[in-house]
Structure formats: C-alpha cells, structure tokens
Amino acid sequence: MFIYRLLADLVVVFHFAYVGFVVVGLILILVGGACGWSWVRKFWFRMIHLASIGVVVVQAWFGVVCPLTTLENWLRAHGSQEPYPGSFIGYWAHEWLFFSAEPWVFTLAYSLFGLLVLASLVTVRPRRRKPAAEDAALS
C-alpha cells in the first residue's frame, strides 16, 4: 500500500512541476525577452513550452481528464489512502494545484493562457541556431 501512496505523491509533485514549467516558463520568457536573455529564445525550449500548454488546452476542449490526475487517483485508490492524503509534500502540492470551479472556467483559463504563449512567440521570437555551414560562410 505504501508504494502506491508514494507513487501518487510523486505524480502530484510531477504534475505541480509541469504546471510550474508552463506558468513560470511564460513569465521567464516575457521577462527574459525584455532583459535580453538569449536562452529564452531557444527554439527547442519554446516548442516544448508551447507543446506543454497545447496538450492542456486540447484536453480541456475535448473534456479529457488529465492523465496525471487519473493516474494519481488510481494510485491513491490502490493505496487505500487515508483521510490525510499521503505525505506532507504530496498533500500540499495537491492542495495548491487543484481547486473547484466549473469546467468551462478551466477551459477558458487554459485557452487564454495558451493564447498568451502563442503571443509570446511573436513578442519574444524564438531563434533557431544557424547551421554550421551557414556560420562558416558568414565568417
């Protein structure tokens, strides 16, 4: 039973990190664009960031429950979770991550946030690294 609870807590921590990457990532992109930080313009970083929010938006539009939430619930059920859900870290990560609202509120919030991420692609343009042959030709 303990292993299921531990795994459920790890899923919540990963879920929290995923949300943090999407939210803090956008903040860093906008601040970094204004401050001239070159790493926020890395193409691979920006595409991973866009895909991360894109998955959430598409799931919300189609009414799909997040697979991480589904996995956590399955693990907790198999772990005979007691009233205080899991460890201290797992409990508070869960409390900070989830709150109650109508489904349309989340769909709207995810969609607007996704639009902000798309807008950041215009305001802080990602840059692809030039191929080595092109770099040599410019020298």
pLDDT one-digit tens code per residue, 17-73: 999 999 999 999 999 999 999 999 999 999 999 999 999 999 999 998 889 888 988
pLDDT top residue among 132 and 10: 10
Whole-number pLDDT of residue 84: 44
**Does residue 113 have a pLDDT over 50?**
yes
Which residues are bridge partners to 96 per DSSP?
none
Task: State pTM to two decimals.
Answer: 0.78
Q: 94 pLDDT exceeds 60?
A: yes
Q: What's the confidence (pLDDT) of residue 105?
A: 85
pLDDT at 51: 98
Both tokens of residue 139? 């020298």
**Cα(17)–Cα(135) distance, integer angstroms:** 37
Query: Would residue 63 be called left, alpha or beta, if left means φ above 0 and alpha means ψ between -120 and 50 degrees?
Result: left
